[in-house]
Each structure stands twice: as structure tokens, then as C-alpha cells.
Chain A
Amino acid sequence: MRSLAGVAAFAVATALVPAFVTSGAVLNAVILTLYAVLLGQAWNVLGGYGGQFSFGHAVFFGTGGYVMAVLQIRYGLSAWLAMPAAIGAGAAVGALVGALTFRYGLRGSYFALVTLAFAEVFRILANTFAFTGAGVGLMLPLADTPAQLQFGSRAGYLYLILGFVLAGFAVHLWLGHSRFGARLTAVRDNEASASALGVNVFRVKLGAIMISGALMAAGGVFYIQYLHYLDPAIAYGPAVSVEALLVPIVGGMGTLFGPLLGAVALHALSEGTRNLFGDAPGISLALYGVVLIVMVRYMPRGLIGLFARRGR
């Protein structure tokens, strides 16, 4: 299968990077790009394959990050035990948001807005309660041992994020070859038809948002383990939500390699602007906004549209 071979090639190539590259800066760039891939993959499941555009995907990210942090810091749980709990929490929040919004038939722009509202609600809650550190946030103590999912070298983190991304690829491959995936894209393309053909639209959407939430929570898990710090603005703020949707829109929504392509392209863009304009605040993000407008206007199928005969 061509797609499986492609993913395998990517996996091998990425796994070999630490063998050839020792520069911390370059490794960091690769790690952050992969992290963006993961966020994009998460959004892609619900938005690209499912057709439900969320503007508040940070709600899952922040939940994953905070659960991971709180379980370790306040309850002394091992990172390896906290991880599945955090990812499960992402899926649970997905179920909550999905059960409410899809049950009442929210779609399109209203759905996008409501997800944003949920992210804001969570941000305010995180800002209020002491156990999430309120406005100060949470700091993950350094442990520097793989037993606590922390690594002395960048290479370790690279493999961690690569693992998550490969899980994301596995989900995408599964969507492309399963009954659930077929039903999901059918719901995206025409809900009434899908319903008339026996597809339980609510259940399908709910499944998609839970999977999407889980992957996004994995992003939050990685974030806290790598950067050791989380606060409400980072966890639930618009930056994460925008990055998550921008990546697949640029790369190609509803495709296997779209998130990878989009993350690489956006990273190249931000590196390019940094070289041109220095570290001036706002320039690279402003460019992201321009890219978003340009993509929607001229390349709604994303960069993948340039390569493939058609996206799947």
C-alpha cells in the first residue's frame, strides 16, 4: 500500500535524524514541527475527515496538559500512568462537547463558535482554581529520566513526539480504510444522505470528536513534558487552536499527509520570516493570517492539491 510505505519512510527518516544531527537548535526545530503535525492531525480527524470545524481545539490540548501536570505534581503519579489518564481526559472532554453540540444539531459556524466558547470557559476555570495553579500556572519539576517521560537529550523527546505522530498516522490510515472512516466522510459530505443510508450521524460525529480530543490531549501531554510549564493562556488560549486548524488547512484537509505537509510549510514560513524580519513580534503570525486567507481563497484543497490527483 502506497500510503503505508510513505508513512514507514517518514518514520524511518525521522528516527534517523538524531544519528546525523547533533545541533540542539535543529533538533528543536524538528521536534516543534512534529508537534505541529500532531496538533494538525488531531484537528484533521474532526475537521478534515469529519467536516466539523472547531475553533477551540485548545480545550482538549489544555485538558491533556493540565491532567498530566496535576496528576504528577499533586498526586505524585508516574508520568507513564498519568499519560493515558490525560489522553483519556481529552477524549472525555470531546464526549462532553460533542454530546452537547451534536445532540442539538449544531454545525457550521455555530459549532465553531461554541467550541471557542468552551475553550474560553475552561481557560477561565483554570485561571480560577488553585489546583491548576490559577493564573500562575503549573511548573513540572525536572526529573530527567525516561521513567518520568523526561529525557536528558533532545533525541529522547524527538522519539516521544514521533511516537505520538505515528499514532496519529495510524488513526488516519484507519480512517481511510475502515467503515467508521467511510461513514465519517459521508457525514461530512452529505448528512441527510448518510442518514438515509443507515448511518447514525450523531454517533459517528461523537466518535470523531473523541478521537480528535484524545490526539489533541497527547499534544498537551508532550507540551508539558517538553517545556515543563503550563498556564491557562497557553493551555486554552487561541494560539493552540489556530495552529491546530491552520496546519491541515495549509497542507490539505482530510488527507493522510496534509498535516505533515502543512506543518513543514508553516515552519519554513516562520523560519523565513525570522530571517527576513528578525524577531519582531507579530510578523510571523500576521503572515499566518495571510496564508490562511490565501489558502481558503486560492487553494481550498491545501498544498496536497498540488500533488495528488484529488484528496481523499
Chain B
Amino acid sequence: MADPTILFAAFLNGLTQGAVYALIALGLTLIYGVLHIINFAHGAALMVALYGVYYLFTGLGIDPFLALPIVMGAMFALGYALQRFVIGRASHGRDENILLVTLGLAIVMENVALYVFRADTRTIETAYAFATVDILGALVAIPKLAALGGALAMAAALFLLITRTDLGRAIRAVAKERQGARLVGIDVDHVFAMSFGIGFACLGAAACFLMPAYYVNPTVGSGFVLIAFTTVVLGGMGSFGGALAGGFVVGIAESFGGLAGIALGAGENMGQLAIFTIFIAVLLFRPQGLFGART
């Protein structure tokens, strides 16, 4: 079992899977960094985006990678609207209330999807779905490599957005000092909604990269929620580099955990167990994560 080829394959597998986790986490960490909201609806929103990619492909024949701008745009609009008209209004200031509202949104999204799409699991078959590339003896699926590239590109784009644009400056101001930002004339509600929208747009991108190699059903989102949170918490809330790093660590941990589980005869679930154990451990012992600031 300690065959280096297998280990290397598991490592690469974890890395590319981790890239997808990072994509999901980038949006989440932005939302948390700016609004200080723990967005429980993140997983369900990913599910919605996945269905979007699915129907664009099966209904209109649009390849997931070409659909990127469409899906990202639509998700951005969804996120903006949700924050502006639902979440923003409901919080009454308490942390937990927002958590409950986003939980409610997740439940609504999941079950409306269940009603509309039924529970069957669907996949798409793109021409390149099974194309692989040989890296040092390990076979890596092309879509997964694309995901890796996508995650890095997305992180870079977000970083540039936050540091080089006016919107980014406004976002940073609001994240740092809400009242002060309001006083200097920044439309805080708009910035919140923009941030939420951008976070959802990241999910749209993640869905485009994920769908070719994965599947969708109404409950697939809840499987991602905790993983996304683990990634964000590990990397540090509000840090893009942290989301990347966290994603890779989580992906690799899951991959090796699964490997260990199979070796021990306990099944692949051990990978997930590893993730959740990391999550609990980080929150207990180092809540600011690897790169976050101590609050």
C-alpha cells in the first residue's frame, strides 16, 4: 500500500479535488470576510449552479467551460438578490439569526430542487470527461487539472479585485469598519450584496469545473457545506490564499484518509471523517486558521 505511485496518485488526486474545494471556499471566505456571515446556503447554492450547468449542457448543448460566464453571471444575480432582499433584512443583528436564515434558504433550495428535479442523480458526459494526462506515472483527469488552473486563476482574480479596484476598496472598508464606511458615503447594503453576489459567482465557476467529473442531485450541496467550512476555517476566514491552501490540505487529507480507510478495511468514508475531525480540531485549538488574523 505504500507504493509511491499510489501515494503520488492519491496526492495529485487530493490536490485537484482540493482545487474544487478551494473554488467553493473562495466565495465563502469572501462572504464571511466582508459580511461576517456564515453562509449556510453555500452548499445548496452550489447545487443550484450544478443544475444550471447540467441543463445548459443537456438542453442547449453548451459546454460547461463555455458556460462559465453565463453560470457565473446568473449566480451573481441570485446572490445579490438573496442578500439584498432576504438575508439582509432578516438578521436583527444577532449572529445566529443569519445562520438560521441561511439554513432556511438552504432547506428551501434543496426541497424546491427536489420537487422540480426529483431525487435522481444526474451526470453529464462531455467529450473530454475521461481524457487523462500522465504525470510522473499517475493518471490525472483533464477536467480536474482544469479545475486546478481555475482555482488558481479565480484566487488571483479575486485578489486583484480586492486590491486594485474601487469596489475592492469599498469592500475592504466595509469589512474593516461598517459604520465608518457608511459615514464616508459608501452604500454598505450594496457592497454587502455585491460581495454575496461575487461569492455566489465563485460557486458558479466551481460548478462549471465540477460538473464534468461529478454528479448532481438535490442533496449534493449539504455534503459540500461542512467541507467548504472546514476549508475556510482551516485557511482562515477572509483569506483567499488561506482558502486555496485550506482547499489543498482538505483535499489531500481526504484522499489520504480514504486511502488509509481502504487499507484498514474501513471504507472510503474515512476520508470524510478526516475532514470533519480537522474541522473540529481547528475550531477548538486554532480558530483563526493558518492564515487568518486572531480575532
Contact = CB atoms under 8 A, between A and B. Distances in A.
Asked if A pairs with B, the answer is: yes
B89 interface: yes
Nearest to A285: B111
Given A53-B100, A289-B111, A108 B95 contact: yes
A311 B92 CA distance: 18
Contacts of B105: 289, 293
Query: Which of B89, B96, B218, B277 is packed against the most chain A CB atoms within 10 Å?
Result: B96
A288 B107 contact: yes
Contacts of B119: 281
Given A100-B284, A112-B38, A289-B107, 17 more contacts: A109-B95, A109-B96, A109-B98, A116-B226, A117-B276, A118-B280, A128-B267, A245-B100, A281-B115, A281-B118, A285-B114, A286-B110, A289-B103, A289-B105, A289-B109, A293-B104, A293-B105
B231 to A, nearest CB: 13
Given A53-B100, A124-B273, A285 B280 contact: no
B283 A106 contact: yes
A127 B270 CA distance: 11
16 contacts: A108-B96, A109-B99, A110-B287, A112-B99, A117-B279, A120-B226, A124-B269, A124-B273, A127-B269, A282-B112, A283-B115, A285-B110, A290-B104, A292-B101, A297-B101, A300-B97
Interface string A80-121: 000000000000000000001100101011101110111011
Contact of A292 (B100, B269, B273): B100
Contacts of B267: 128
A303 to B, nearest CB: 16
Contacts of B104: 289-293, 296
A236 B86 CA distance: 30
B108 interface: yes
Contacts of A100: 280, 284
A289 B103 CA distance: 8
B89 A290 contact: no
Interface in B77-132: 86, 89-90, 92, 95-101, 103-115, 118-119
A104 B96 contact: no
A61 interface: no
Interface string B149-182: 0000000000000000000000000000000000
Nearest to B272: A124
Contacts of B92: 296, 300
B25 to A, nearest CB: 14
A293 B280 CA distance: 28
A100 B285 CA distance: 10
Contacts of B276: 117, 120-121, 124
A283 B106 CA distance: 14
B73 to A, nearest CB: 25
Interface residues of A, number: 40
Nearest to B89: A297
A128 B96 contact: no
B226 A286 contact: no
Most buried by B among A106, A113, A245: A113
A-B pairs, 7 with minimum CB distance: A289-B107, A282-B114, A292-B104, A289-B108, A286-B111, A282-B111, A297-B90
Interface of B: 38, 86, 89-90, 92, 95-101, 103-115, 118-119, 218, 222, 226, 229, 266-267, 269-270, 272-273, 276-277, 279-280, 283-285, 287
A169 B148 CA distance: 55
A83 B273 CA distance: 29
Nearest to A103: B284
Nearest to B266: A128
A283 B277 CA distance: 34
Contacts of A291: 104
B284 A296 contact: no
B229 A296 contact: no
A249 B226 contact: no
Nearest to A53: B96
B238 to A, nearest CB: 14
Contacts of B96: 53, 108-109, 112
Nearest to B102: A293
A112 B107 CA distance: 16
Contacts of A101: 284
Given A109-B96, A293-B108, A296-B90, A121 B273 contact: yes
A252 B97 CA distance: 14
A160 interface: no
A53 B99 CA distance: 10
B106 A289 contact: yes
A305 interface: no
Interface string A29-73: 000000000000000000000000101000000000000000000
A27 B189 CA distance: 50
Contacts of A245: 100
A57 B111 CA distance: 21
A133 interface: no
B273 A290 contact: no
A114 B92 CA distance: 23
A125 interface: yes
A137 interface: no
Contacts of A110: 283, 287
